Structure 1
Amino acid sequence: MQTLTVSAINEQIKSLLESTFIQIRVEGELSRVTYHSSGHIYFTIKDEKSSLSCVMFRSNAARLRFRLEEGQHVVLGGSITVYVPRGNYQMMVQTAEPYGAGALAVAFEQLKKRLEAEGLFAPARKRPIPHLPRHIAVVTSKTGAAIQDMIRVAQKRWPLVKITVVDTLVQGAEAAGEIARHIAYADRLGADVLIVGRGGGSLEDLWAFNEEVVARAVAACKTPVVSAVGHEVDTLISDFVADMRAPTPSAAMEQILPDRVETLYTLDEMMNRLGGRMRQIIAAKDDLLRHLKSRLEQHAMSRRIAMRLEAAALLGRQLSLQMERILQQKSQLLKPLLGELVQAEKQRLHQKEDLLKNMQGRMEALDPRHKLRKGYVQLVKEGRVAGLEDLKENDTVSLQDGRLKADAKIVAVYPVEKG
């Protein structure tokens, strides 16, 4: 029987185990989870009978979609390694997945629970969206369909609004960091409201908006933020942190911008009501003054009564002037806005009119009757337009120019001599 040294037997065990258990998957419950300052994660996986020491190095830990926690039931992928000086073996973990539920679902719930505990979803943090924003910053991809939909809705509802598009990646490994940086940049533009979003896609496509760095960038904004990611059925971390959630990017524009037709009607109604109310007040004060004057005239016109009457008349005139000034001020405040809206509508109508004239000119140029009016005629044989190559001797044809018609008989058909 061969006698081996401790080192030799450990080397043989190392060679045997590491060559046998190269790629393995192990299911069990996590315990003694330790996140080291180096970025490595040390933990134990166990079942009811045994336990196995594990390590996940920083490079693999950085790719985890969720946080390893005590008591989690997981499936690990990796290999067995042996530390020869101590004769210890452990599993070098490359991947970790939650048992049953997907990694993304677990990561979502973990982050949601943690941010909610910090108060980032609290209603008290939500800021109101301005009723009539003049400047909107949009953090999205400038090449995506979402921004085109948003611009189209904005031009239809409120063409006076200024839109600044902050181009960013919206999916992929680098997207979350890019989105967070561009949110911080957009927050410094002085916009009235900030929209963060993109069109629909799979959960993996939308995942950047579930990352903690994006959530904290939204929470740090001084500008009110609207989260508009994916479709109505998609709910992401950014939706919980933002001041308002819109089901789609185009719906975000519909929710924060007023309809120009309704606004014009409302302004007109307000001006009419304001004018009517001012006239009522002036009429009531005028009636009061006449009543006071009538009562004073019934008494002796002493100096004291005369002074009071004069003061009352002066008060009436001052009140009337004040009411007129208020009405003029309100009117002046509304005129520029009405003028801008009317000018924008006129410009849009002029563009449609120019397009219609251009199309009409092109249609007239293609109309056969256009050439007939210039002196040309149509050659008609047997009720159909014909060419000279369709004719033969003794054919009966008609010549038409749209106004007159002449019948003729073909005497001969022959080629034209060249030269």
Structure 2
Amino acid sequence: MHTLTVSMLNDQVKHTLEATFLQVAVEGEVSRPTYHNSGHIYFTLKDADSSIKAVMFKGNASKLKFRLDEGMQVVLFGAISVYKPRGEYQLLASSIQASGAGNLALAFEQTKKRLESMGYFDPSRKKPKPTIVGKIVLITSGTSAALQDMLRVVSKRWPMATLTLIDVLVQGEKAPIEIAQAIAHANTLDADAIVIARGGGSIEDLWAFNDEHIARALFESKTFTVSAVGHEIDWTIGDFVADMRAPTPSAAMEMLLWDEWEMRQYLDALHSQMAQVMGQKIAHHQHTLHNLTQQLGEFRFDKRLLYLNGQLQTLQGQFEFYARNALKERVQSVVTLQERIEQRMAQKLAHATQELAQLRNHYAQNDPALRDKAGFAKLSQGSHVVALESLAIGDSVTLSTSKRALEATITAEKSL
């Protein structure tokens, strides 16, 4: 027996396995799937008794229509690959199919479920269709029958509509990116609506419209969007995300555009509605004006009455104030006058008393009877009464009473 080194053994095993199992199809259950940042997918394929590691590199993984989930039953197509340094082998997947349901159907359901959980289908975020659509951006193939169908409908219903075509691929690997970019560009054109259209075909032909790039562009669109892909029985992810779904491209134009008869009906109804609204508004304003006029009159009368009542109360208060002050002043004046009168009376009484005393004294001095009785005589020179102190030696005087008069001459002054 020939002795082999570990490396030699692993090398022979690698050569034998990879040559023998160059193409294999293995069915099993997916376990621990890992999506690496590099784009590779690592997982384990197992059944009830065994398991084997598997890898799907970025190039093939990017073509996979659905996502590998834990417990999913699949059929892996590929080859055996041996990693010589560790003596390990694994399945190298070139493609994978889901067991049971078709791959595309599974991918569709997975994408639909994921986007629905993210709110992409929420009716509350969908924009309402514009009442009048005059400018439309068509995103479709410039050579497609779908475009001709739409143009034919436009020419019949509303030839005045303005159409802008963005020519894109509508199937194939590059189609989703082109369509998503076209939607973003259409949002800069100030259109009333954006229509993404394609004619009928197989699920593979329409698959581009299930791509998440298109779904995201529709979700982020600020302009009203219409998905018109395939026939009425065909549904795409874009149908769920767009603001409106049309069963066919031509139906999209019929749903967006009014014909002449519909426009006339709309304008007539709008005219009637405006007339009714204006009539109601005028009647309402007239009623309001009438009420305000009445309220204004009542307000003016009430306000005037309140003003006059206020003035009356003010005047009454002033009258009472002035009356009290006037009475007080009158009383004070009377008191003051009485005091002044009493003072004057006292002064006059004192003066009269003094005059009376003086008169009594004067009378007493000049009454002849009293003077005679007291033994007094009047000294006079001629007709003038003189005082004793004014006489000098040698003066002649008359001494008189009421009964007799004597002539005398002052001869000497006698000391007392």
**TM-score band (shorter)?**
0.5 to 0.7
Q: Distance in 2 between matches of 1:269 and 1:259?
A: 15
The answer to whether structure 1 residue 162 and structure 2 residue 162 are counterparts is yes
One-letter code aligned to 2:151 = I
Q: Deviations over 1:325-363 (max 9, x none)?
A: xxxxxxxxxxxxxxxxxxxxxxxxxxxxxxxxxxxxxxx
Give the corresponding residue for 2:349: none
- How far apart, CA to CA, are the structure 2 residues paired with 1:19 and 1:255? 61
Deviation of the 1:267 alpha carbon: 2.6
Q: Equivalent residue for 2:383?
A: none
**Which residue of the partner structure matches residue 88 of structure 2?**
88
The 3 A distance-change label for structure 1 pair 272 and 60 is closer
Using the TM superposition, give the Cα deviation of residue 237 of structure 1 relative to its aligned residue in structure 2, in angstroms.
0.2
* 1:33 partner SS: strand
Kindly indicate whether residue 88 of structure 2 is the aligned counterpart of residue 115 of structure 1.
no
The one-letter code matched in structure 1 to 2:192 is D
Paired residue for 1:257?
A: 257
Corresponding position of 1:320? none
Letter in 2 for 1:205: D
Runs of at least 4 residues of structure 1 off by over 3 A?
Answer: 268-283
Q: Given the superposition, is the C-alpha separation of residues 116 and 266 from structure 1 closer, same or farther in structure 2, using an over 3 Å criterion?
A: closer
- Residues 25-73 of structure 1: per-residue CA shift (max 9 Å, x gap): 0000000111111111111100000001111111111111111111110
Larger deviation: 259-268 or 174-183?
A: 259-268
Paired residues of 1:137 and 1:193 also in contact (CA < 8 A): yes
Q: Rg larger in 1 or in 2?
A: 2
Cα separation, 2, equivalents of 1:7 and 1:279: 99
Question: What is the CA distance between 1:274 and its match in structure 2?
Answer: 6.3
CA apart distance, 1:172: 1.1
Secondary structure of the residue that 1:85 maps to in structure 2?
A: helix
> CA 1:161/1:52 → structure 2, altered by over 3 Å: closer, same or farther?
same
Worse-superposed segment, 269-278 or 194-203: 269-278
Distance in structure 2 (CA, Å) of the matches to 1:166 and 1:177: 13
Displacement of 1:265: 3.9
CA distance in 2, matches of 1:131, 1:273: 15
Question: In 2, distance between residues paired with 1:193 and 1:15?
Answer: 62
Distance 1:152 1:16, change over 3 A: same
Deviation at 1:266, TM superposition (A): 4.1
1:106 matched to which residue of 2?
106
3-state DSSP class of the match of 1:203?
Answer: coil
Equivalent residue number for residue 219 of structure 2: 219
Equivalent residue for 2:173?
Answer: 173
1:236 aligned to 2:236? yes
Equivalent residue of 2:92, what SS? strand
Q: Does 1:136 align with 2:136?
A: yes
Contact 1:198/1:249 (8 A) holds in 2: yes
1:54 aligns with 2:51: no
Look up the SS of the partner of 1:234 in the other structure.
Answer: coil
Which residue does the alignment assign to 1:31?
31
Q: Match of 2:85, SS?
A: coil
Give SS of 2:184's match.
Answer: helix
**1:280: Cα distance to partner?**
11
Q: Relative to structure 1, is the Cα distance of residues 131 and 50 closer, same or farther in structure 2, using a 3 angstrom cutoff?
A: same
Aligned partner of 1:243: which letter?
D
- Taking only aligned residues, the RMSD between alpha carbons, in angstroms, comes to 2.4
From the superposition, tell whether residues 254 and 9 of structure 1 become closer, same or farther in structure 2 (CA, over 3 Å): same
| Alignment deviations for residues 185-231 of structure 1 (CA, whole Å, 9 cap, x no partner) | 11111101111111111111111100011100111110010111000
Unaligned stretches of 5+ in structure 1? 287-303, 305-419
Which residue number in structure 1 is paired with residue 15 of structure 2?
15
Q: TM-score, normalised by structure 2?
A: 0.65
Judging changes above 3 Å, is the alpha-carbon distance between structure 1 residues 265 and 33 closer, same or farther for their aligned structure 2 residues? closer
- CA gap of 1:84–1:160, structure 2 versus 1, over 3 A, is same
SS in 2 for 1:188: coil
Contact 1:194 1:225 in 2 (8 A): yes
Amino acid at match of 2:238: S
Where 2:59 maps in the other structure, the secondary structure is helix
Matches within 5 A, 1:322-341: none
- Name 1:5's counterpart in structure 2: 5
| Cα distance in 1 for residues equivalent to 2:277 and 2:115 | 52
- Segment drifting more, 265-274 vs 16-25: 265-274
Please tell me whether the aligned partners of residues 226 and 244 of structure 1 are also in contact (alpha carbons under 8 angstroms).
yes
**Identity over the aligned pairs, expressed in percent?**
56
**Distance in 2 of aligned mates of 1:66 and 1:206:** 16
Specify whether residues 73 and 271 from structure 1 end up closer, same or farther in structure 2 by C-alpha distance, changes over 3 A only: closer
Distance 1:278 1:12 in 2: 95
Matches for 1:174-213 after TM superposition, within 5 Å: 174-213=174-213
| Matched residue SS, 1:205 | coil
Count of residues in Structure 1 that have an aligned counterpart in Structure 2: 287
Native 8 Å contact 1:131 1:257 kept in 2 = no
Where does structure 2 lack aligned partners over 5 or more consecutive residues? 287-296, 298-416
Distance (whole Å) between structure 2 residues aligned to residue 119 and residue 136 of structure 1:
26
Query: Is residue 125 of structure 1 aligned with residue 113 of structure 2?
Result: no
- Between 267-276 and 245-254, the greater mean CA deviation after superposition: 267-276
Aligned to 1:70: 70
Q: 1:143/1:10 Cα in 2 relative to 1: closer, same or farther (>3 Å)?
A: same
